[in-house]
Structure 1
Amino acid sequence: MKTILQAFEWYLPSDSQHWNNIKENIPDLGKLGFSGLWLPPASKAASGVEDVGYGTYDLFDLGEFDQKGTIPTKYGTKDEYLDLINTLHHNNIEVYADIVFNHMMGADETETIEADIKAEDNHLHNIENNKTVEVWTKFTFPGRQGKYDNYIWTWHNFTGIDYDERKNQEEILEFEGHEWDENVDSENSNFDYLMGADLDFSVSETVEQLEKWGHWFSEMTKIDGFRLDAIKHIDFKYFDKWLEQRAKQLDKKLFIVGEYWSDDLGKLEYYLEQSGDKIQLFDVPLHFNLKEASSTNGEFDMRTIFDHTLTASQPELSVTFVDNHDTQEGQALQSWIPAWFKEHAYSLILLRKKGTPTVFWGDLYG
């Protein structure tokens, strides 16, 4: 049975020392019984050293090039990242990379194009058609100068964005000739768009670039699996082929877990069906049951704590957790479970055979 450590939290210091700090803790992690570590996104992100990693800028920059005002990422350099992975492997601990394919941010240049303005609460409803807009969608990666890959990303690779530079105005824009993916979460009528420049998976060059990066990254790191970010906003069938290629390339069974943030068990089960049951999911409904149990002044019936959860319905595909970086106080998905209930909550997931338990760095180290 796997026991995973989410080896980061949102409010780590921006000192580029986290890869080294984890390495120093490896002996303790082994004693605690962790079989795998989920590491944060390693690629250079839009806010440079201040970015937790989810504002993806350059997937090929793992802390190697002077971009976004820094060479290292928030967590360290490419060499330190690879050294950490190698050391974990030598200690028989698997490593899972957090990858963000939904969007890109921090473009190097703007482009002037035509787009439709969409309603905030209904992304299929047009407010205005064929508007001329100036958008941040051209990624030239000048600091990398074509090393590893010389592809230039432009608006053709994306479906939309949420900012018009020309008018200094925030609005959801769907680009001319592009349409939101249909096979996504149904919130806002269609929840393809989340943030940044939204990748268009119907564009062959976009898919080819993600495949090229996946091969390069996997060959270099010999990674053991992936945590997939924001999958409810990405075509439900996209990862099937990409993950199949990674498994063939690495010639091993990979641990794959996706973040589908919904407490609706039916939505999670539908995603599993659409993705061919190849991707495990975080048991978000269980997290909210734990949250309710911790905040109802003793009125919660603990016999029902696993009711309507993925752990109850499909335990082999459930990854359990108590809290994570997104549920921390001050974050968009804030739903922090109070300290008095933490030991109870962790007992429920760590002492249960069903589900793959995940411990949060912020709960282990503060």
Structure 2
Amino acid sequence: MKNRVMMQAFEWYLESDSKHFVRLEQLLDELKEAGIDDLWIPPVFKATGTNDVGYGIYDLFDLGEFDQKGSVPTKYGTKEELLSLIEACHQRGMKVYADTVLNHKAGADFKETFKAVLVDSDNREENIGEPHDIEGWTGFNFPGRNDKYSDFKWNFNHFTGVDYDDLSKETGIFRILGENKYWSSNVSHEMGNYDYLMFADVDLKHPDVSAELFRWIEWFVQETKIDGLRFDALKHIDRDFIRDFTSYCQEQFGESFYMVGEYWSSSEAVKAKYLDATDYNVDLFDVGLHFNFYEAALGMENYDLREIFENTLVSTHPTLAVTFVDNHDSQKGQSLQSWVGDWFKPLAYTLILMRDEGYPCVFWGDYYGINQEDGYPASKPWIDKILKARASSAHGQQDDYFDNNNTIGWVRHGDEEHPTKSATLIHNGTEKTSLMMFVGKEQANKEFSDVLSYDDERV
């Protein structure tokens, strides 16, 4: 993905009017001109309703085609509008990655009775009480689709846990019991075992389930011509399944089929282990770098900028890291809220867009703003300036000058196709300072100006 830029083309609080795909298609020329090459679009599958952002997934085979869960379209639009958007992107040389939710299912069509045991929410390996019958929402027969594309019916045998017993009206985490049925061991060990996240937890070790998902991905790619996937909630999903599933995708769709996943951990060591366990088939978002930005914004001038890339994926696996500043999970009001302070955002975007390493992702909420009471204004004007600088002068050899705790910099020396050089300075101090960097003898006596227009002074 050399020098390409991704955009997360949604945020949590978009209007629930089923018109996002239409609006997004109308913006493609503007985005392409600005320097956005690829789009990560929200979950395109039928969820629990049009107010659902898409992670309460109901039917993977309904792309906004069937009258299910109260509407034909999803929150973002109809199947026809989705296909039109993808085709329009391809006409402009833009790639499209679909947010994909395989961990759980929601909005079941009917209840079932089965044996389960309540577990400690803080340690899912510890049972509370004895096994007993519960009623859970685990039956999925998709009556609105009427077996089109797939006649597979889901029942409690295809899940490992639920969060509600309709018999006792009790909320909690209930592990479903059965022969050879338990939480997956190949998941994060937070909470003892972090297989369970929400809703009805899919048993990816069940042979019928894995077979159905392998059939589904063939259908989905053929139906949409999508260019790749963004996997949600990887630390809750069986690693062996992801390894096999991503290998299958590469075999079926070629090495250019792009896959990236969300593994929400700031530990580089944990993610390095995950990459190895999944045969390096899937890139990961650099959560560690995001948290460094978050801490740098809080620390202000007391944060040592020389440590900005410490414990990050981009520093150890630069070709497998998707760098980002904020996303729909970290934005204000969300469960993983860790919003990077406004004053530091221009520095953070410069740190992901002007460097050689990583595949940078621009957040819709930063670019177009978040229309909420505690929202965020559109930052398109200054992000566009950095994108323009990236396109013209973020190429070739990179020399770093990380010598000062409050001021760091680097020089990009250009290449044959893009000979323009750039010198980038990041400063979080309260007083002006200087940093000496070598930009090449041929630049002697030439002046450099600030592309962001923060400083009118030429150097």
TM range (shorter): over 0.9
Which residue number corresponds to residue 157 of structure 2? 156
Instruction: State the 1:247 CA deviation.
Output: 2.5
Which residue number corresponds to residue 282 of structure 1? 285
Which residue number corresponds to residue 24 of structure 1? 26
1:262 is matched with which residue: 259, 262, 265?
265
* Secondary structure, counterpart of 2:189 in structure 1: coil
2:328 is matched with which residue: 325, 329, 334?
325
Which residue number corresponds to residue 173 of structure 1? 174
Instruction: State the 1:339 CA deviation.
Output: 1.7
Conservation of the 8 A alpha-carbon contact between 2:243 and 2:277: no
1:311 is matched with which residue: 302, 310, 314?
314
Which residue number corresponds to residue 227 of structure 1? 230
Instruction: State the 1:256 CA deviation.
Output: 1.1
Superposed CA offset, 1:50-94 (max 9, x none): 011001001111111111111101100000001100110011000
* Secondary structure, counterpart of 1:50 in structure 2: coil
What is the alpha-carbon distance in structure 2 between the residues aligned to residue 249 and residue 151 of structure 1? 22
Which residue number corresponds to residue 340 of structure 2? 337
What is the alpha-carbon distance in structure 2 between the residues aligned to residue 353 and residue 32 of structure 1? 19
Q: How do 1:240-251 residues align onto structure 2 when only pairs under 5 Å count? A: 240-251=243-254
Conservation of the 8 A alpha-carbon contact between 1:222 and 1:250: no
Q: Which amino acid aligns with 2:28?
A: I
Instruction: State the 1:100 CA deviation.
Output: 0.3
What is the alpha-carbon distance in structure 2 between the residues aligned to residue 64 and residue 154 of structure 1? 23
Instruction: State the 1:252 CA deviation.
Output: 4.4
Conservation of the 8 A alpha-carbon contact between 1:326 and 1:332: yes
More off after superposition, 76-85 vs 162-171: 162-171
Instruction: State the 1:267 CA deviation.
Output: 0.9
Superposed CA offset, 1:94-150 (max 9, x none): 010110000000101000111011111110111122111000000111111111111
Superposed CA offset, 1:248-289 (max 9, x none): 332342221110001111111110111111111110010000
- 1:56 to 2:18 alignment: no
Instruction: State the 1:34 CA deviation.
Output: 1.6
* Secondary structure, counterpart of 2:117 in structure 1: strand
* Secondary structure, counterpart of 1:241 in structure 2: helix
* Secondary structure, counterpart of 2:329 in structure 1: coil
Superposed CA offset, 1:207-242 (max 9, x none): 011111101001111211110000100111212222
Conservation of the 8 A alpha-carbon contact between 1:227 and 1:259: yes
Which residue number corresponds to residue 75 of structure 1? 76
Conservation of the 8 A alpha-carbon contact between 2:98 and 2:230: yes
Conservation of the 8 A alpha-carbon contact between 2:297 and 2:341: yes
Structure 1 gap segments, 5+ residues each? none
Structure 2 gap segments, 5+ residues each? 370-459
Considering only aligned residues, what root-mean-square deviation do their CA atoms show, in Å? Answer: 0.9
What is the alpha-carbon distance in structure 1 between the residues aligned to residue 65 and residue 130 of structure 2? 42
What is the alpha-carbon distance in structure 1 between the residues aligned to residue 88 and residue 183 of structure 2? 42
Higher relative contact order (CA 8 A, sep 6+): 1
- 1:359 to 2:362 alignment: yes
1:33 is matched with which residue: 35, 39, 51?
35
Which residue number corresponds to residue 5 of structure 2? 3
- 1:215 to 2:215 alignment: no
Q: Which ranges of 4 or more aligned residues in structure 1 deviate by more than 4 Å?
A: none
Conservation of the 8 A alpha-carbon contact between 2:10 and 2:363: yes
* Secondary structure, counterpart of 1:96 in structure 2: strand
* Secondary structure, counterpart of 2:333 in structure 1: coil
What is the alpha-carbon distance in structure 2 between the residues aligned to residue 44 and residue 113 of structure 1? 27
- 1:117 to 2:118 alignment: yes
* Secondary structure, counterpart of 2:142 in structure 1: coil
Conservation of the 8 A alpha-carbon contact between 2:247 and 2:281: no
Conservation of the 8 A alpha-carbon contact between 1:218 and 1:246: no
What is the alpha-carbon distance in structure 2 between the residues aligned to residue 299 and residue 238 of structure 1? 44
Q: How many residues align?
A: 365
Conservation of the 8 A alpha-carbon contact between 2:205 and 2:241: no
Which residue number corresponds to residue 301 of structure 1? 304
What is the alpha-carbon distance in structure 1 between the residues aligned to residue 310 and residue 255 of structure 2? 34
Instruction: State the 1:43 CA deviation.
Output: 0.2
What is the alpha-carbon distance in structure 2 between the residues aligned to residue 173 and residue 239 of structure 1? 24
What is the alpha-carbon distance in structure 1 between the residues aligned to residue 356 and residue 254 of structure 2? 28
Q: Which protein shows a greater Rg? A: 2
What is the alpha-carbon distance in structure 2 between the residues aligned to residue 344 and residue 118 of structure 1? 44
Q: Which amino acid aligns with 1:251?
A: G
Q: TM-score, normalised by structure 1?
A: 0.98
Which residue number corresponds to residue 200 of structure 1? 203
More off after superposition, 251-260 vs 76-85: 251-260
What is the alpha-carbon distance in structure 2 between the residues aligned to residue 184 and residue 45 of structure 1? 25
What is the alpha-carbon distance in structure 2 between the residues aligned to residue 254 and residue 33 of structure 1? 21
Which residue number corresponds to residue 349 of structure 1? 352
What is the alpha-carbon distance in structure 2 between the residues aligned to residue 247 and residue 78 of structure 1? 25
Q: How do 1:77-116 residues align onto structure 2 when only pairs under 5 Å count? A: 77-116=78-117
Conservation of the 8 A alpha-carbon contact between 1:232 and 1:260: yes
What is the alpha-carbon distance in structure 1 between the residues aligned to residue 249 and residue 80 of structure 2? 22
Instruction: State the 1:293 CA deviation.
Output: 0.4
